[in-house]
Amino acid sequence: MNAIISASELADALRSERPPVLLDVRWQLSTAAASGQPFDGRAAYASGHIPGAVFVDLDRELASTPGPRGRHPLPDLDVFGAAMRRAGVSAGTPVVAYDGGIGWAAARAWWLLRWTGHPDVRVLDGGLPAWDGPLEAEASAPAEGDFVPKPAEGAVLDADGAAALARSGVLLDARAGERYRGEVEPIDPVGGHIPGALSAPTSDNVDADGRFRPAAELRARFGELGATRDVPVGVYCGSGVSAAHEVLALEVAGIPAALYVGSWSEWTSDPARPVAVGPDPQ
């Protein structure tokens, strides 16, 4: 099953006998919009969303409290499960997640559902901007779902696992190149990257419209970095959100990958961990 779905395919699916549950996961990395006010995903949802979609709060339902484990640690599974059931998610129902277009937040929801055992979840390619159908403002209240999250083994890396994978396999850094090189660091206390990690910005996963590049192009892109089905692959970013987008792109390319959820925000919380700077992985 493809991990992404086009807007036209979604429209057809919503008219089918087995329509998907829709998750609206609008979120922004920046803490302030142009107006100077923090971005409010719930307000964006209330101003118009795909009919039937339920808003999911990334910071509160797809992550737990920031701290030494990073800015977006894994959520408490009881909280996550309750949020998914409130949205109408059941083990036997398809799910489609979308966000405001960049794809990071929707990919985080996709990854969490896949990691915890849901067999049929996809991301709307291009997000809400790709949708040309109707919108509604009234909050959706679907029937309670029955999904119970059951985490899979081996899909999550901790700091030690990420460091080891950078030596024994392929560890991709999904942040912008200037952050990888340590030229700028707008969020975390230290710039640079995990020694041995390779720079692979999420911006190279998509075209100018924010839609994923074809699977063959993605395979070629990751193949140039040594990431193939034949080697263990892991991904990290700043806090485990954009890295989920990279895992999704790898999935489209047919390459399984693990996610270092704590990512750079956890790595740099311990000053004893080594940091590399510049374009050289080491």
Is 124 considered catalytic here? Answer: no
E strands in the chain: 4-5, 21-24, 54-55, 95-98, 121-124, 156-157, 170-173, 198-199, 233-236, 258-260
Catalytic pick from 25, 109, 197, 237? 237
Gap between the Cα atoms of 143 and 242, Å rounded: 31
| Amino acid letter for position 22 | L
Q: List residues bridging with 121 in a β-sheet.
A: 95
Q: At what angle do helices 242-252 and 215-224 cross, to 10 degrees?
A: 110
Q: Which residues contact 280 (CB under 8 A, 6 or more apart)?
A: none
63: number of Cβ within 10 Å: 25
Q: Kind of pairing, strands 21-24 and 156-157? A: unpaired
**3-state secondary structure (DSSP) of residue 32:** coil
How far is Cα 205 from Cα 197, in angstroms, rounded to an integer? 18
Residues annotated as part of the active site = 237
